[in-house]
């Protein structure tokens, strides 16, 4: 479009920012930001929201905050966008601080606002605070919580090891819990080896989606950790009978304008040996730091 001298508009730039967000391409995103300034689109709210989201998803949270501060007259969506960005980066204090600022300027929060706050609590392990925000949402602002709010609350409690309380929250929900809520509980059951709740959560997930390979795999791992090998065999046979195939995990990253894909268990990458050596080096450095910390702690006990 640029080469053909076709005038770009706001919709064009929003689409490109969305693409940059999906690919975590901050370099291209910055180039598009320059065009926003060049064409004088800085005052468009939807474009600014896309800009904030792009920087956040690309890992440049400081740029996201700067883009928010440069906005003229932030609205509810603007506040939600930046609070969500802080939550996704695990910046609990910043998310709460901006929520407080939002209330001071008279912008009334909605369900999306509290969803971001609950998510921030989950990343920071703030159990009591998550309960407080949930109560504030319902009692102070009269917002009816949806499945996503309960999912965040259950996830926060589960991460903190409060599995029984999390299951009580699920039972008290005014509607049937979906796979997302049960998935949060199942993941924690794997960490804390709660077989009984793990079985319940996996059963509920499979009821929602019989071909959900993750539920079978996590439950199998729980059984294996508990030494229940007969149950491990049973789950694997059940997967086979249901025709469920385990999905391989993969990740990717961009280096020097080239995208590198990594598939779980795959060693076909040309630099696999170098990557493994680097991981070993990092692991040794981490162990050395732990040993140094232990020595310092030991010496401090003699002071």
The predicted-structure confidence for 141-166, as pLDDT tens digits, reads as follows: 999 998 889 989 999 998 888 999 99
Residue 194 lies in a domain: no
In a domain, 205, yes or no: no
> Which band of pLDDT confidence, cut at 50, 70 and 90, is reported for residue 97?
very high
Strand partners, 234: none
Assigned domain for 35 exists: yes
Tell whether 46 is covered by a domain. yes
Residue 302 has pLDDT above 70, yes or no: no
pLDDT given at position 96: 95
* Ordered alpha helix ranges (H), the chain: 10-23, 26-38, 45-57, 61-69, 76-88, 92-104, 111-124, 127-135, 147-159, 163-172, 179-192, 195-208, 213-225, 229-242, 272-300
Is 39 domain-assigned?
yes
The 8-class DSSP code of residue 168 comes to H
The torsion defined by the Cα of 18, 24, 30 and 33, in degrees rounded to 10, comes to 20
DSSP states of 68-124: HHT-SS--HHHHHHHHHHHHHTT-HHHHHHHHHHHHHTTPPP-HHHHHHHHHHHHHH
In a domain, 241, yes or no: no
| CA nearest to 81, candidates 30, 135, 127, 21 | 21
pLDDT at 15: 93
Structural domains of the chain, count: 1
The answer to whether residue 87 is domain-embedded is no
With respect to residue 55, please indicate whether it lies within any of the assigned structural domains: yes
What is residue 177's DSSP assignment? -
Supply the range of the domain harboring residue 61.
1-72
CA distance 111 to 148: 10
pLDDT tens digits for 111-142? 999 999 999 998 888 999 999 999 999 999 99
Residues of the chain above pLDDT 90, percent: 31
Give the range among 17-21, 54-58, 97-101, 249-253 with minimum mean pLDDT: 249-253
């Amino acid at each position: 479009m640029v080469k053909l001298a076709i005038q770009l508009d706001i919709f064009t730039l929003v689409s490109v920012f969305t693409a940059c967000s999906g690919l975590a391409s901050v370099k291209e995103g910055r180039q598009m930001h320059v065009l926003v300034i060049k064409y004088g689109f800085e005052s468009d709210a939807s474009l600014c929201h896309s800009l904030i989201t792009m920087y956040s998803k690309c890992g440049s949270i400081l740029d996201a905050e700067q883009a928010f501060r440069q906005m003229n007259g932030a609205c509810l969506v603007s506040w939600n966008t930046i609070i969500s960005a802080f939550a996704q980066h695990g910046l609990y204090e910043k998310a709460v601080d901006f929520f407080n600022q939002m209330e001071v300027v008279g912008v009334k929060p909605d369900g999306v606002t509290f969803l971001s706050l609950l998510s921030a609590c989950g990343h920071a392990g703030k159990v009591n605070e998550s309960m407080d925000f949930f109560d504030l949402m319902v009692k102070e602002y009269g917002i009816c919580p949806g499945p996503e709010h309960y999912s965040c609350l259950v996830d926060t409690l589960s991460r903190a090891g409060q599995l029984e309380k999390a299951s009580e929250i699920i039972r008290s929900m005014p509607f049937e819990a979906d796979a997302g809520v049960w998935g949060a509980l199942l993941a924690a059951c794997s960490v804390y080896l709660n077989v009984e709740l793990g079985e319940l959560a996996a059963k509920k997930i499979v009821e929602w989606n019989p071909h959900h390979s993750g539920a079978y795999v996590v439950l199998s791992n729980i059984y294996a950790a508990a030494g229940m090998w007969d149950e491990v065999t049973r789950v694997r046979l059940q997967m086979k009978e249901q025709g469920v195939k385990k999905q391989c995990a993969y990740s990717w990253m961009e280096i020097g304008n080239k995208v590198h894909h990594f598939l779980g268990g795959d060693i076909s990458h040309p630099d696999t040996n170098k990557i493994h050596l680097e991981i070993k080096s990092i692991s040794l450095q981490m162990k050395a730091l732990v040993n140094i910390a232990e020595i310092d702690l030991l010496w401090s006990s003699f002071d």
